[in-house]
Chains A and B, each alone.
Chain A
Amino acid sequence: MLNDWLYVGVFALVSMFLPAAAISIAALLSPKKPNSIKNATYECGMEPVGPAWAQMKVQYYVFTLIFLVFDVEAVLLFPWAVAYKQLPLYAVVEAILFILILLGGLLYAWRKGALEWL
């Protein structure tokens, strides 16, 4: 069990290392002739106007909240799904009720107009 996760850790390190190594090799091979015009931030060929970190609209906030609800729901449902074969009908119906409540929440958000991308 621990061995398995050791392999996952080793694989994660290796998969970080490979692209990093490729980029380092490319950095050694490639020419380096920076100048101030080449290094300017790209904005369709003009001088950049204002700060780049612009504000985005609040719509994201609502979508992310709904996303959070459903992701937490999925986290709760995964153990249920693993145990599904051994569960009695009662537990299955209970999970279905749980999903129905969430579906009701989705419909409520829909009617409230939270799902409209403006």
Chain B
Amino acid sequence: MSFWRDPIIFIIEWAKGLLAGIGWGPGWATIVGFVIGAFVLATGAMFFVVFLIWYERKLIGRLQDRFGPNRLGPWGLFQPIADMLKIFTKELITPSGVDWIAYNLAPILSVAAVLMMWAVTPFSKTFFGVNISVGILFLIAVGGLGEVGIILAGWGSNNKYALVGALRAVAQLCSYEVPFVISALVPVMLTGSMSLVDIVEAQNPWYILVAPAAALVFFIASVAETGRAPFDLAEAESEIVAGYNVEYSGLKFGMFFVGEFLHAFTASFIFVTVFLGGWRGPGADQIPVLGLVYFMIKTFIVYFALILFRGTNPRFRIDQMMDLNWKVLTPLSLVVIMVIALVDRLFASSADWLRTVILLAANLVILVVAERLIRRGVKTTRPEVGSRERPVASPDNLFIQPGSGAKG
């Protein structure tokens, strides 16, 4: 294996050789290798956040017609590093009356839950932490662990706003778990395995082309799981101050921040893994490092879509959000899974391309019907507000300057 075809595996093999050369038994060498590998991957993820913060702030700035960070370094690239250095030296205020264990465990857990998702994701053909046979269930379970962090933060802070925020977060995350899990069944069904490595290998047309309706539900539900705008009711500044993290300061607050950004990025690469073919692309089978490049490109495209989603939508009201979940996404995902199961079984003996086309058509029909039904259910006529004629500054003759003496 040459270095340029797969540098990461080359380095890993070299490190394994080095560990074996020390003269430990194979068991100890494996464990030490695991610890080092986990450290490198998790630390890499933590430092990657610094770049993500810059990327997101820059994009949000552009979306809001601002420049975004542009002072420190080229294009403001060093701004988040400066922020990070600053936040390390901020005082960690612990309010009186907090539940000490819950209060301090919450920021750790909310980052750890997201980091653990990196352990099972295949970044390229050869580069992944581990290939467990229940990968997608593991992702869902670990995602649920993040909610525990939020509940601990809300409960442990001894603050009313924090408690309200935490309970909102629980309601939201519990609800959106349902369409998330059910639409995640579709790739499992089409692959016949829950392992993420197998799911990526099996995507010969990407699953977004086979099941776009399931992909749409999965995307919306995973945005809601990350708890950012337009689903950021748990930390609505204008209603409940800052939600579950009111009482946090310094790096403990920073950890919630890191957890949120990392979760957004992680959600986008899970979407890429499950529906957009992961590392698949021309030439990625022969040269694994190309797979990593494709994976990153796709992930950043999805992440860009996620930021666009965040930057252009106003925050939902809580009843609207629950309605969207229980009255639209959940029935839709149930219908999608039934239709896909039936259609795929009925056309199992026909050619692959024909089955793909039929599944795509069935999905599009579901989407169109769902759109019609939603339009019927939603009140589109709105009471007219401010219908009275208002004075508008519109000059009759644009060429006459005010105060030039001529009559308009």
Chain A residues packing against B (C-beta within 8 Å): 1, 3-8, 10-16, 18-20, 22-23, 25-27, 29-34, 36, 38-44, 52-54, 56, 60, 63-64, 66-67, 70-71, 74, 77-78, 81-87, 89, 92-93, 95-96, 99-100, 102-103, 106, 110, 115-118
Contact = CB atoms under 8 A, between A and B. Distances in A.
Nearest to A50: B160
Contacts of B346: 89
B188 A82 contact: yes
A56 B162 CA distance: 13
Contacts of B338: 96, 99-100
A85 B355 CA distance: 14
Interface stretch (B12-20, B64-72, B316-324, B383-391): B316-324
Given A8-B120, A8-B138, A27-B92, 18 more contacts: A10-B31, A11-B41, A14-B42, A19-B112, A22-B46, A23-B108, A30-B92, A30-B250, A43-B161, A52-B157, A52-B163, A63-B171, A70-B181, A70-B182, A74-B185, A77-B337, A84-B188, A106-B331
Name the prevailing secondary structure of the B interface residues: helix
26 contacts: A3-B30, A8-B132, A14-B38, A23-B92, A23-B107, A27-B92, A30-B88, A31-B91, A32-B92, A34-B93, A36-B96, A41-B247, A42-B246, A43-B159, A52-B162, A77-B182, A77-B337, A81-B185, A84-B192, A84-B341, A86-B192, A89-B345, A92-B341, A92-B342, A99-B337, A115-B326
A8 B111 CA distance: 16
A6 B34 contact: yes
Which 7 pairs show the lowest CB-CB distances between chains A and B?
A: A15-B115, A26-B251, A117-B319, A11-B119, A85-B192, A14-B38, A74-B181
Interface of B: 30-31, 34-35, 37-39, 41-43, 46, 87-97, 104, 107-109, 111-112, 115-116, 118-120, 129-133, 137-138, 155, 157-164, 167, 170-171, 174-175, 177-178, 181-182, 185, 188-189, 192-194, 241, 246-247, 250-252, 255, 258, 318-319, 322-323, 326-327, 330-331, 334-335, 337-338, 341-342, 345-346
